Amino acid sequence: MDGVSYEMAALGQERSPSVGSGPRPERTAIRVERLSILLYLALFILFNALYWPWLFRSSRYFDWTVDPVYNAPDQDPDEE
C-alpha cells in the first residue's frame, strides 16, 4: 500500500498525493524566498563593506585640507 496508511485504508480514506511525495510548490517558493532574502542581505553587506572604504581611500577623502576662506568656523559670510 504505497502512500496509504493502514488506519486510513481501514476507513476507506486515501492519503493526499501531495503529502509525503516531496516538497510542495508552496514550500519550495517559501524556501526560495527565504534564501533570496538572505542572499540579498549578504550581498548588500558585502557591497557596503567593500565599496565605501574603497571610495574613501581612493578619493583621499580624509587627506584633503580645508580652505579657511570658505570654511572659517568663526565668520559669518553675511557679515562681510
pLDDT band at 62 (very low <50, low <70, confident <90, very high): confident
- CA distance to 6, 14, 26, 35, 73, per residue, from 64 (Å): 80, 77, 56, 43, 17
pLDDT at residue 51, as a whole number: 96
pLDDT band at 25 (very low <50, low <70, confident <90, very high): confident
pLDDT band at 13 (very low <50, low <70, confident <90, very high): low
pTM of the predicted protein model:
0.47
- Of 29 and 19, the structure prediction assigns the larger pLDDT to 29
Tracing cell 568656523 back to the chain, one arrives at 73
Q: Which of 10-14, 55-59, 60-64 has the lowest mean pLDDT?
A: 10-14
